[in-house]
Structure 1
Amino acid sequence: MNQNFLEQPSRMARARALPGRFKTKVVSHKDDFVEATRTKKTFFDWLRTSGSGSDPLGGNGSCDTDLLPTPPEQRNWGYKAYFFLYFSWSIDNWTLGSTMIGIGLNWWQSILVIFGSQCISSIFQAIASRSGAVYHVGFPCVARSVFGMYGAYFAVASRAVMSAVYYALKMYIGSNFVRNMLRATFGSAFHNLGNSIPGSIGISTQGMIAFFLYWVLHIPLTLLRPNQMKWIFTLKMYTIIPAYIGLFVFCMVNTKGRIGGGLASSSKLSSAQFSWFVMNAMNAGIGNTATTITNQPDYTRWSNRRWASVIPQLIANPISVAISSTMGILATSAINHNWGLELWNQWDLLDEIMTRYWRPEVRFAVLLCAAAQALLVTGTNVAGNIIPFGADSAMLWPRYLNITRGQLLGLFLVWIIFPWKILASAEVFTTFLGGYGMFMSALVGPTLIEYYVLAKGNIWVTQVYNGHKTNPYYWYHRGWNIQAFIAYVVGIALPITGFAGVLGADVPETAMHIYYIGWLLSLFVSGSVYWVVCKAWPTQAQNAIREKALGWEELQYETIIVLEGHGLEMTASGHGSQGDAVDPSESSFQDKQSAKVAVYRD
């Protein structure tokens, strides 16, 4: 028998040793905390994030470990992980059809528009993902290279606010499925529970219990880093497909497939009216994934291959959204037509099913379906909102916040945002959130033009951590890229009047038509203006790229050396360095013994 095998501890022995190791770790953390509380300085030093001493100038304001390029051992997202991530059978897709029909389209027109809008969205997702896949940095670092070391705070803070609010709203939506589960499990004991919360709050006692339980379930997830979350996307895909299909089949069989007459007939509109309705619907469909386009570098920085995310983006996303939206349109329209109700939300539909068919087997089926839906909301909410918020937090306050701490912060901010209050009474605010995508698209335009056209795919990665005027490329004008912000303002100027009309202002019909194409218009106008302005007034980085005659993504072959207390340096590593670790002794740093991390390019 293999002697090495005999020398290895058995699985049972390792299991018995786990409590002891855990206890030792807890005691060690306790001792560290006690030591840290001795003085104010030691306490704040203890709070500091790992890697915050890696600022090229020795400061702590521009860098921590989570802002640095993803180390090779953490690049573990492959084709399958991205397919599960982008396979989007989300709750939004089930109700997206109602948005299209409310705009004025019939059922088959809605399906075509949804598919077309998601194809466009997927193309932009693939385009926006390139910088993260090549340089393995997230959106905050990409934003620094485009908007400047200080200007990036505006772009990142804009997304952080959006992510925090949407995270709270989606968590409240997910808690409705927990409420379905509690009713299915405990029956009338839960359903008839007395309400002790005032109606003005916007949530009942039942809803608060469900929300709190759902919130608690998110705590362990926020402690995970993105490279540890692949299993969530896998699990939610395997569970939601049978749940979606089962609910769809029930609706069609129960109603014998009789859908509402309004969906089966064509819209009686003039050609001009119909064209604007289609553009409005297309804009709404793209806006449904507007923040996802901005988030792409935060996903692709974890990729193990440069093209790992592209095929899932172009195939999984539009097909899955079209299928799930079609199910939502047909199933709910059939139920509404035959039951005489208006049930576009799945949790209301599940509640009504239990009311009409209060039998053990039905309650069990609803329990399983609601659990799958709650898991689906969790997976999409984690990917779409809490991971970006954690990344943004790491950039906004890198000395004390990293990704996991930022995710925890977002979790606790939920109780300050009061999502149930927003959905119950703040109609103008929810309308504002629905149109917020055009503000994000005006950020995407300059970002894509900078990377693909003006910078030729080159980013000086070390300089996105240099928050000082000595930064030769990304300091721009006192930390702000004025050219990018000129383009941003022009990009949102055209559709903003129509946006005010959506919020209730009296505006001309032409302004509303412009708003109907607001997302695409903001993106193309901001990108075009940025290109024109930079041709007449190039930035330092663009001048340097031209002077150095850099080719396409030539800087991807540079290596990042992270030295504790000494900052970062780029050194040439050649074009054939895939999989080769970097020898820190080759660095020009004088203190070769201080090497902490070596991060290499693909």
Structure 2
Amino acid sequence: MKTQIEQNGIVTLSDDATKSVSDSELWNDDLRPTTEKEHTWTGLNFATLWIGMCLCIPAYTMASGMISLGMNWWQAIGTIFLGNVIVLIPILLNSHAGTKFGIPYPVFARLWFGSKGAHIPSMARAVVAAGWFGINTWIGTTAIDVLLSASFPAWKSLAGHTAIIFALFWALNVGVAYKGPQAIKVLSLIAAPVVGISALILMIWAFTNAGWGPILSTPSKFTTTGEFLKVFFPTLTGVIAFWATLALNIPDFCRYAKSQRSQMIAQSFSLPLTMSIFSFIGIAVTSATVVIFGTAIWDPVQLLAKFPPFIIFLGTIIIAMASLTINVGANIVAPARAIENLYPKRITFGIGALITGVFAILMQPWFIMSNFGNYIFGWLGTYAALLGPIDGIAIADYWLVRRRKMALKELYEPAGRYNYSSGFNKNGVYALIIGVAVPVLGLLVPGLRFLWDNAWTFGLFISMFAYAYLMKNDQSVLSPGEYEAITQIQAPDPMERLAK
């Protein structure tokens, strides 16, 4: 029986199959596969999504930490570019699954962990995302608060002014997220050009007032290759970890892609180039501030506070827009989906977004940010050790084990092949444990420190190969000819080919 239809590389459920699983406990309107009509995201949408998320305060200031560690400007930019090219690989590999089968990340995880085991990678991704949601909300709050205080001195004397901004900005973030990924698509289309043009204007201002300044001419502090590599590898892991979260749940967005080609090309150019260019703008502008103000100002909020009130007002809107775009796009979709997947028949995406917002407040981001350095470098590096192995398992399952073929309908059947044993795929759990345990040895054995400094990379490859080996001849894998037996493969739409 044909349960799914493939055309132009996109697989959708047949009407009969949809009816047969629509009452399943694993199905709801947000977690179901996208229909043919819902594949509406073009390359422009993915480009603006990434540009909007990359143009944020942490990306602007990312290179500053590397320069403070001893790198010169081109070593810092090169590290940022390389790290984003590396993380782009798992992003594109996981994007393929989301685009082809139209499934969100928690449903994708059912393939490799089982219908119940999927909560392990889903909630792992959700916890770090909720933490980042709170942090970015607080960063946006403090930025807006500083700029308002600079424009209106009376604002600073208002009791609880920071709490007021936090409550309003939190509500705005949750409100946009409540509307779902389609609202994020519209937000990105607006935010990306506005923030991008503003950054270019800021760089032009810096160049015309001070040239490129001393930071760009400061040499590297490293005298040998060995000294540089000791800093380079852990720093590279930090750059990779910056977007390692999106490498997992990118199917949440790519499930709406019109074609594989459009999303791949758009993401390949927009992510590494935007991160590198925006970081360079941060370095160049900071270099100019040394000449103009006599000190290096890495924080764009502190820099904007030195401008006239009208410019500060515009800057407040732009920074709020940038913080909102990255926060909603990168930090709330994944936990909302993961929470929704806990009880698909009762919890909607909107409810998941609200719960995520409450959880972010309970994590007290204002307290976490009081020890910013330890949190970002310690916590983020530690989480990279967990996210890398999950990425490796996802890639191994879809590309090496199943070779891009699955029975879409059975992802929503409690008794389907992807239920494994009582809802858990033990091979996925074993591969995850192995992938996390090996890099942890680097913390325990001084001579193996390189394993921990490159935890994301080692964890990814170790789990990938361990999972592929453990899943040999697994019964959940479609047998030769079985995919063709359940799939109605239609001829490519000539108009679609012209549109590409």
Task: State if a TM-score over 0.5 links the two structures.
Answer: yes
Superposition misfits of 4+ residues, deviation over 6 angstroms = none
Q: Are 2:419 and 1:456 aligned?
A: no
TM-score (norm 1): 0.74
Output one character per residue of 1:438-484: Cα deviation in whole Å (capped at 9) or x when no partner. Answer: 211110101111111110111222221222xx32x212232221112
Query: Counterpart of 1:382?
Result: 328
Equivalent residue in structure 1 for 2:165, among 206, 210, 224: 210
The alignment yields a C-alpha RMSD, in angstroms, of 2.6
Q: Hey, what does 1:292 align to over in structure 2? A: 246
> Of residues 152, 176, 190 in structure 1, which corresponds to 2:155?
190
Aligned to 2:13: none
- TM alignment of 1:438-457, pairs within 5 A: 438-457=385-404
CA distance in 1, matches of 2:351, 2:466: 38
Q: What CA distance in whole angstroms lies between the structure 2 residues aligned with 1:160 and 1:259?
A: 42
Q: In the alignment, which residue of structure 1 is the partner of 2:185?
A: 230
Taking the aligned partners of 2:454 and 2:211, their CA distance within structure 1 comes to 39
Q: Is it true that 1:474 corresponds to 2:444 in the alignment?
A: no
Measured after TM superposition, the shift of residue 171 of structure 1 is 1.0
Equivalence map 1:303-314=2 (5 Å): 303-314=257-268
Report the structure, 1 or 2, having the larger helix content. 2
Aligned equivalent of 2:285, options 331, 338, 341: 331
Q: Is 1:423–1:430's contact at 8 Å kept on the other side of the alignment?
A: no
Structure 2 contact 90–395 (Cα < 8 Å) conserved:
no
Partner residue, 2:347: 401
| Deviation, structure 1 residue 169 | 0.8
Describe the shift of the 1:102–1:151 C-alpha distance in structure 2 as closer, same or farther (beyond 3 A).
Answer: farther
* 1:487 equivalenced with 2:424 (yes/no): no
Letter in 2 for 1:294: L
Q: Which is bigger in relative contact order (C-alpha 8 A, separation at least 6)? A: 2
The change in CA–CA distance for 1:153 and 1:424 in structure 2 (over 3 A counts) is same
The answer to whether the Cα contact below 8 Å between 1:180 and 1:367 also exists between their aligned partners in 2 is no
Structural mapping, 1:94-133, within 5 Å: 94-133=60-99
Shift of 1:55: 8.0
Give the aligned residue type for 2:454: I
Q: Is the 8 A contact 1:138 1:301 kept in 2?
A: yes
In 2 relative to 1, CA 489–231 (structure 1 residues): closer, same or farther, beyond 3 Å? Answer: same
Rg larger for = 1
Per the alignment, do residues 489 and 128 of structure 1 end up closer, same or farther by CA in structure 2, a change over 3 Å counting?
A: same
Q: Deviations over 1:398-439 (max 9, x none)?
A: 122121221122233333222111111476444443111221
Alignment of 1:508-547 (within 5 A): 508-535=445-472, 538-542=473-477, 545-546=478-479
Q: Determine if contact 2:385/2:436 at 8 Å carries over to the other structure.
A: yes
Kindly indicate whether the alpha-carbon contact (under 8 Å) linking 2:119 and 2:338 is maintained by their aligned counterparts in 1: no
Letter in 2 for 1:424: S
Residues 1:54 and 1:162: Cα distance change in structure 2 (over 3 Å) = farther
* Deviation per residue, 1:184-239 (Å, 9 max, x gap): 54x21113x15x5xxxxxxxx33222212212323431331212432200111111
Identity of aligned residues (%): 22
- 1:141: how far off? 0.8
1:245 paired with 2:222, answer no
2:144 matched to which residue of 1? 178
2: CA distance between counterparts of 1:524 and 1:572?
32
After superposition, what is the alpha-carbon deviation per residue over 1:338-377, rounded to whole angstroms, capped at 9, x for unaligned? Answer: 64546332222223x14xxxxxxx2211221221121011
Q: Equivalent residue of 1:573, what SS?
A: strand
Q: 1:276 Cα shift?
A: 3.1
Question: 1:84 maps to which residue?
Answer: 48
Report the counterpart of residue 269 of structure 2 in structure 1. Answer: 315
- Residue ranges of structure 1 left out of the alignment (5+ in a row): 1-52, 197-204, 355-361, 501-506, 559-570, 580-602
1:490-532 residue CA offsets vs partner (Å, 9 max, x unmatched): 111122244x5xxxxxx55434322221111111111011122
Which amino acid in 2 is paired with 1:541? S
Residue type of the partner of 2:205? Answer: F
Kept in 2: contact 1:79–1:308 (CA 8 A): yes
Match of 2:11 in 1: none
- Alignment of 1:281 with 2:281, yes or no, is no
- Please report how far the alpha carbon of residue 73 of structure 1 lies from its aligned counterpart in structure 2 after TM superposition: 3.0
Q: What is the aligned partner in structure 2 of residue 345 from structure 1?
A: 299
1:14 corresponds to: none
Q: May I ask how many residue pairs the two structures share in their alignment?
A: 475
The structure-2 alpha-carbon separation of the partners of 1:57 and 1:371, relative to structure 1 and needing over 3 Å to count, comes to closer
One-letter amino acid of the counterpart of residue 449, structure 2: M
Residue type of the partner of 1:215? W
Question: Could you tell me whether the CA contact under 8 Å between 1:64 and 1:394 is conserved in 2?
Answer: no
- More displaced 10-residue stretch of structure 1: 407-416 or 165-174: 407-416
Cα 1:241–1:572 change in 2 (3 A) is closer
> Is the CA contact (8 Å cut-off) linking 2:71 and 2:222 kept in structure 1?
no
> Which residue is 1:15 aligned to?
none
